[in-house]
């Protein structure tokens, strides 16, 4: 993984260099991401996010898919939920896709309830935004880089149980795990995957800076040091270049939703260009997941704390030509 990432960076540098040297007009473009609806109830306009229960509805998996299945599958009495058919459909879509296209599944997980969630309800959003969110806490509780409440821990344990029971029914196991560096997200990932993958060796989750919640002003969105995170989550790895201290958060300016969406688009493309896994899980936040959904053109879907939704994404690489060589935007020579 690291070797691959490094060689990608080298190729990227070479490509940039080649473009400059050869005076080519074409610049490198990033890959296009599109939600493929039809597999999960969350994609449908009639699904109400407020009443949707991912645990009771098999993470929203539908019974019919928008791809043709082999006759074999039509004849067989398939168990519900149809995870085997889903995996089969994804494999078939990837097999039949052009070499510039791949289909991926993102399991988007919102952290369990944190102390900042409780405080916002307690004070009301207006007072929270204008005053309390700027403080580290109120003397009774602390919400700077907020920890999970007991309810939040319970929500993550519910996710753990839901994964265990669906994995037993054939749900695909994620091949890669990414987390926001805010501890409520990392802790949720840790609880969700304990006893499944986390304490069973590999793969280690990776903390990625830009997966975090809206930046600035609110202390709940200011992250702890790398040293603290490493001590608290020893089984997690850090993306390359992860700094000791938080360099993105400032006390006086709150990131806009549009800026946040640009940031999440960058980090999502980085993940999809450097990681060829089909099944990827991302532990993040209400705001950052809203942005991810926007980037892939998914309908709006406001998530409750601790909720997990899968989305299918079509990833199309743009190509760039340098001399006689053709590169994908992720700089893998084709
Ligand atoms: C601090 O906030 C919590 C709710 O978030 C509340 O239960 C508690 O009473 C507050 N403490 C003070 C001193 O106001």
Tell me whether residue 16 is in a domain. Answer: no
Q: Report the pLDDT averaged over residues 54-81.
A: 74
> Residues 99-146: pLDDT tens digits?
789 999 999 999 999 999 999 999 999 999 999 999 999 999 999 999
State the closest ligand 1 atom to the C-alpha of 115, by its place in the atom list counted from 1. Answer: 5
Q: To test the ligand 1 pocket, which listed residue (115, 118, 135, 140) has its Cβ within 8 A of the most ligand atoms? A: 140
Q: Which domain holds residue 143?
A: 30-317
Does residue 334 surpass a pLDDT of 70? no
Closest by CA to 24, choosing from 331, 319, 322, is 322
Q: Which of 111, 218, 285, 298 is catalytic?
A: 111
Match 């994609």 to its residue by tokens. Answer: 43
Which one has a higher pLDDT value, 286 or 8?
Answer: 286
Q: Is 136 in the pocket of ligand 1 (CB under 6 A)?
A: no
Ligand 1 centroid vs 126 CA: distance in angstroms? 16
Q: What is the CATH number of the domain that holds 65?
A: 3.40.50.1240
Q: Report the pLDDT averaged over residues 161-185.
A: 96
Tell me whether residue 327 is in a domain. Answer: no
Tell me whether residue 3 is in a domain. Answer: no
Q: Is 138 in the pocket of ligand 1 (CB under 6 A)?
A: yes
Protein residue closest via CA to atom 14 of ligand 1: 138
Cα–Cα distance for residue pair 273/276, rounded to 1 Å: 7
Dihedral of the alpha carbons of 239, 147, 108, 2, in degrees to the nearest 10: 10
How far CA 110 is from CA of 209, 285, 305, in Å, comes to 16, 5, 6
* Average confidence score pLDDT of the chain: 87
> Residues 234-282: pLDDT tens digits?
999 999 999 999 999 999 999 999 999 999 999 999 999 889 999 999 9
pLDDT for 320? 56
- Distance between alpha carbon 156 and the CA centroid of its chain, in Å? 16
State the closest ligand 1 atom to the C-alpha of 119, by its place in the atom list counted from 1. Answer: 5
Protein residue closest via CA to atom 11 of ligand 1: 140
Tell me whether residue 326 is in a domain. Answer: no
Cα–Cα distance for residue pair 207/238, rounded to 1 Å: 5
317: pLDDT confidence band, cut at 50, 70 and 90?
A: confident
283: pLDDT confidence band, cut at 50, 70 and 90?
A: very high
pLDDT for 19? 38
pTM of the model: 0.87
State the closest ligand 1 atom to the C-alpha of 143, by its place in the atom list counted from 1. Answer: 5
Is residue 111 annotated as part of the catalytic site, yes or no? Answer: yes
Cα–Cα distance for residue pair 233/226, rounded to 1 Å: 10
Count up the domains in the chain and report the number. Answer: 1
With 0-12 / 13-18 / 19 or more C-beta atoms within 10 angstroms meaning exposed / middle / buried, residue 248 is middle
Q: Are strands 319-322 and 308-316 parallel, antiparallel or unpaired?
A: unpaired
Tell me whether residue 8 is in a domain. Answer: no
pLDDT for 31? 78
Q: Which of 190, 209, 213, 307 is catalytic?
A: 213
Q: Is 118 in the pocket of ligand 1 (CB under 6 A)?
A: yes
Tell me whether residue 286 is in a domain. Answer: yes
Return the structure tokens found at 316.
């199309």
CB 231, CB 266: distance < 8 Å: no
> Residues 1-51: pLDDT tens digits?
344 444 444 444 444 443 333 444 443 445 789 999 999 999 999 999 999
Q: Is 141 in the pocket of ligand 1 (CB under 6 A)?
A: yes
- 235 cis-preceded (ω within 30 degrees of 0): no
Tell me whether residue 76 is in a domain. Answer: yes
pLDDT for 66? 81
Return the structure tokens found at 72.
């074999």
Q: Is 51 in the pocket of ligand 1 (CB under 6 A)?
A: no
Tell me whether residue 196 is in a domain. Answer: yes
Q: To test the ligand 1 pocket, which listed residue (114, 138, 152) has its Cβ within 8 A of the most ligand atoms? A: 138
pLDDT for 203? 81
Q: Which residues pair with 315 in a beta bridge?
A: 33, 102
Is residue 213 annotated as part of the catalytic site, yes or no? Answer: yes
Does residue 290 surpass a pLDDT of 70? yes
Give the chain's largest Cα–Cα span. 66
Alpha helices in the chain (DSSP H): 2-22, 71-75, 83-96, 115-123, 125-130, 150-168, 183-193, 226-232, 257-274, 286-295
């Amino acid at each position: 993984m690291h070797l691959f990432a490094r060689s990608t960076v080298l190729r990227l540098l070479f490509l940039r260099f080649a473009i400059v040297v050869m005076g080519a007009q074409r610049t490198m473009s990033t890959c296009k991401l599109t939600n493929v609806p039809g597999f999960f109830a969350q994609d449908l306009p009639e699904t109400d996010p407020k009443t949707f229960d991912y645990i009771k509805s098999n993470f929203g998996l539908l019974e019919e898919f928008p791809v043709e299945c082999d006759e074999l599958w039509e004849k067989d009495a398939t168990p519900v939920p149809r995870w085997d058919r889903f995996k089969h459909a994804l494999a078939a879509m990837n097999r039949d896709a052009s070499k510039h296209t791949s289909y991926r599944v993102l399991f988007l997980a919102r952290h369990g309830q944190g102390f900042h969630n409780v405080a916002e309800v307690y004070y009301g959003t207006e007072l929270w935004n204008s005053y309390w969110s700027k403080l580290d806490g109120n003397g009774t509780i602390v919400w700077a880089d907020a920890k999970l409440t007991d309810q939040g821990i319970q929500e993550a344990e519910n996710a753990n149980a839901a994964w265990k029971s669906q994995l037993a029914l054939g749900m695909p196991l994620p091949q890669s795990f990414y987390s926001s560096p805010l501890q409520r997200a990392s802790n949720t990932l840790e609880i969700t995957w304990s006893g499944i993958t986390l304490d069973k060796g590999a793969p280690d989750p990776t903390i990625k800076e830009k997966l975090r919640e809206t930046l600035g002003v609110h202390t709940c969105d200011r992250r702890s040091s790398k040293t603290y995170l490493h001590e608290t989550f020893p089984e997690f790895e850090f993306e390359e270049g992860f700094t000791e201290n938080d360099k993105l958060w400032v006390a006086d300016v709150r990131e806009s939703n549009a800026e946040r969406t640009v940031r999440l688009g960058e980090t999502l493309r980085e993940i999809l260009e450097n990681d060829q896994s089909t099944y990827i899980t991302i532990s993040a936040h209400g705001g950052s997941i809203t942005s991810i959904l926007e980037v892939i053109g998914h309908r709006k879907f406001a998530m409750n704390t601790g909720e997990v939704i899968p989305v299918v994404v079509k990833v199309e690489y743009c190509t760039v030509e340098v001399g006689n060589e053709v590169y994908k935007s992720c700089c893998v020579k084709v």
